[in-house]
Amino acid sequence: METDIVSTPVQVGPPDRASGKGARSAVVQTAAAVALAAAVLGGMWAAGLFRPTAKPGPAACNPPKATDSPEYPALCAALNRRDLPTLLGTPDPVSVAQSGGGPMIFADGTVEYDASAEVQLGNTRVRISDNHQLSVRTATTFASLLPQPTSLLGHPAATYSDHTLALNFNGATTTTGTGGIARHLVVAKSADTNGGSFEITIWRQDRGTPEDAALFRIADQVFPSLQGWTPGP
Question: Model pTM greater than 0.85?
Answer: no
Cα separation, 98 vs 101, whole angstroms: 9
Position 82 scores a pLDDT of: 94
CB 214 within 8 A of CB 89: yes
Quick check: is 145 in a domain? yes
165: domain range?
A: 2-225
Are 198 and 230 spatial neighbours (Cβ–Cβ below 8 Å)? no
pLDDT of residue 232: 73
What's the pLDDT score for residue 214?
Answer: 97
Residue 231 belongs to a domain: no
What's the pLDDT at 228? Answer: 94
Assigned domain for 121 exists? yes
Q: If we measure between CA atoms, which residue out of 143, 176, 162 comes closest to residue 210? A: 162
Provide the pLDDT for residue 167: 72
**Per-residue model confidence (pLDDT) at position 183:** 94
Q: Is 232 inside a domain boundary?
A: no
| Confidence at residue 6, expressed as pLDDT on a 0 to 100 scale | 65
* Cβ count near 182 (within 10 Å): 24
Number of domains the chain is built from:
1
Please report, in tens digits, the pLDDT of each residue of the chain (233 residues total): 456 666 443 333 333 333 333 333 333 334 334 434 433 443 344 334 444 444 556 899 999 998 899 999 999 999 999 999 999 999 999 999 999 877 777 788 887 778 999 999 999 999 999 998 889 999 999 888 889 999 999 999 999 998 887 777 676 777 777 778 899 999 999 999 999 999 999 999 887 889 999 999 999 999 999 999 998 77
Q: Output the pLDDT for position 110.
A: 80
Does 20 map to a domain? yes
pLDDT at 62: 96
pLDDT of 149 reads 96
Give me the DSSP letters along 18-51: TTTB-PPPHHHHHHHHHHHHHHHHHHHHHTTTTS
Which 8-state DSSP code applies to residue 88? H
Q: Is 5 helix (H, G, I), strand (E, B) or coil?
A: strand
Q: What is the pLDDT of residue 16?
A: 35
